Amino acid sequence: MARFQVNILGCGSATPSMRHLPSCQVIDFRDNLFMVDCGEGAQLSMRRMKLKFSRLNHIFISHLHGDHCFGLPGLLSTLALHDKSGTVTVHVFKEGAEVFGRMLEYFCRDMPFEICFNIIEPGVATIYEDDAITVSTFPLYHRIPCVGFVFREKPKLRHLRGDMVKFFNVPVRELHGIKRGADFVAPDGTVIANDRLTTPADRSISYAYCSDTMYDRRVAEWVNGVDVIYHEATYDDEYAAKARERGHSTAREAGKTAAAAGASRLIIGHFSKRYVSEDAHLAQAREEFPEVIAANEGMKIDLL
């Protein structure tokens, strides 16, 4: 149940190719699915990866280039055919809400579920929160407005020590407070310190999705302290000038950002379709930061 997993549905740039699909990921957080970008092929990849449509309630779109959002109309209309009830919220820039809103009006009247658009801005903001996780945006530096997303687990509960709970006869109604750090006051007024009743909570983990961006020191500042970073790495060193010109990064630059941010792991993706292998990307990123994974369709990465 305590799952926090990144599913790679697409990690190619620009267009679908024989090797990769355009950008799409699904973050599985305790069986709630959060989609990040929705390139063409997203719904088919969800099926392949056995990700349940009924668990998907939030879709986050980083920017309005087609390779990050052309999967949306198809996915939403399929959800409608599935009699999925409830609400799906698409977090997107204003122009995207206008375009996709019109498409839905035209193609998907009488849907059994509600689609909400939550308008996001190209800055730092918390755009989703429940009792266990937050999702925030931060700015990226691309050719058009673009944001990244950080998923942060909230502080977790401390673990009860069963033997001590029994020993001090702690009533069940007190347990939740104790897991949150409260001391226990026994009926005779004796205070039992929390650390005699519990062991520390597991560490809260964070994950950042750095969508399309040129290399910029500020990105590492926005994701400073995040445990696992996904970062676009469209090009290798040979095309560093092209990366800059197109508002993209090289794998080495992704490695530099992960190192500067103090991450523990880096996932690279958004590979240009000019490559037949990502070996050079991996080698160059690893010269800057050792713990690098090259994304691939179908990959599931555990964050805990």
The residues that are catalytic are 67
Please tell me whether residue 248 binds Zn ion under the rule CB under 5 A: no
Q: CA–CA separation, 231 vs 295, rounded Å? A: 10
How distant, in Å, are the alpha carbons of 163, 165, 212, 222 from that of 127?
41, 39, 19, 16
Q: Which residues pair with 229 in a beta bridge?
A: 208, 266
From 126-134, 189-197, 209-217, 282-290, give the range in contact with Zn ion by CB under 5 A. 209-217
Shortest spacing between CB 61 and Zn ion, in angstroms = 11
Q: Which is nearer to Zn ion, 212 or 288 (CB)?
A: 212
Q: Considering Cα of 235, then 239, then 242, then 247, what sign does the dihedral take?
A: positive
Estimate to the nearest angstrom the gap between the alpha carbon of 199 and the chain centroid. 29
Cα–Cα distance, 60 to 127 (Å, whole number): 10
Q: Which residue is nearest to Zn ion (CB)?
A: 65
User: What 3-state DSSP class applies to 127?
Assistant: strand
For position 246 contacting Zn ion by CB under 5 A, the verdict is no
CB of 142 to Zn ion, least distance (A): 6
Nearer CB in complex with Zn ion: 65/84: 65
User: Can you tell me which of 25, 42, 59, 65 binds Zn ion, judged by CB under 5 A?
Assistant: 65
Tokens of 23: 């950008």
* 212 part of the interface to Zn ion, by CB under 5 A: yes
Q: Does 232 bind Zn ion (CB under 5 A)?
A: no
Least CB distance to Zn ion at residue 273 (A):
14
Instruction: Single out the segment in contact with Zn ion by CB under 5 A; choices: 52-60, 129-137, 206-214, 250-258.
Output: 206-214
Q: Is 270 in the site for Zn ion (CB under 5 A)?
A: no
Rg for the chain, CA atoms, rounded: 22
How far is 224 from 73, CA to CA, in rounded Å?
A: 34
Binding stretches for Zn ion (CB under 5 A):
65, 212
